[in-house]
Amino acid sequence: MSTSAHREIQMLVALKERLGLKSDTALAKLLCVDRKLLSEVMTGRRRLGVKGQINLLDRTIYRKSRDFMAVLLPKRVGEAVDRFANASVQVSVTDDAEFLAIYKEAMQFATDQKIANRLGISASAISMVKNRKSNLGALVRLQMFIDLCKGKDKDELMKMREYLSSRDALARGLGEWSASQQSAK
């Protein structure tokens, strides 16, 4: 088994444990991948694939980022982030609508068009998210986290965005994350 495959498995196991997921089926659902594929990945027979890796990194970024966002934001907004995070196990369409509202308030955007311009998406996409008919996607959500963070945390998130630029960069990021988790123990 390759080093990057081993790191991928470590990250999957860590995410499953951290979220308290009871089964690989729940993890597969969270990552929007087939249960059989995840089973093969967990046994080292296959790789997760770009979509699954992006979703894995997205969920990891989401969990890690929301924890320090609550500390960095104004108290009222931080409390809203805490309520939002504690009410959810995974990023969903509903979560994205709530996160968008938190982002709009924290960034003091007056209109949806200003949010759309900042995030590089259409105003109609913002409307779809607010009406819970669509979600934001990993890169847009990551940009929101970057906008809300400061200092070292912002630099770390910008590094995460770099990891999404290619499969090799993602594998490198997964390896660094895994190593940081091992050294934290």
How does pLDDT run along the chain (185 residues), one tens digit per residue? 677 788 888 888 888 887 788 888 888 888 888 899 999 999 989 888 777 777 777 776 665 565 555 555 666 666 665 555 554 444 444 567 878 888 888 889 999 999 999 999 999 999 988 888 888 877 788 788 778 776 656 676 677 677 666 667 777 776 776 777 677 66
Closest residue by Cα to residue 141 from 128, 127, 129: 129
Question: What tokens does 170 get?
Answer: 């993602």
CB 172 within 8 A of CB 7: no
- Could you give the CA distance from residue 125 to residue 25 in angstroms, rounded to a whole number? 30
**Alpha-carbon gap, residue 117 to 179, rounded angstroms:** 37
- Tokens 């970024």 locate to 61
Please tell me whether the overall predicted TM-score, pTM, comes out greater than 0.85 for this model.
no
The confidence score (pLDDT) of residue 113 equals 95
What is the rounded CA–CA span in Å between residue 65 and residue 62?
5
Please report, for residues 5, 33, 116, 145, the alpha-carbon distance to residue 67 in angstroms, rounded to integers and kept in the order given. Answer: 28, 26, 25, 11
* Tokens read off for 148: 């809300």
Give the list of residues 6+ apart from residue 161 with CB closer than 8 angstroms, or none.
139, 142, 143, 146
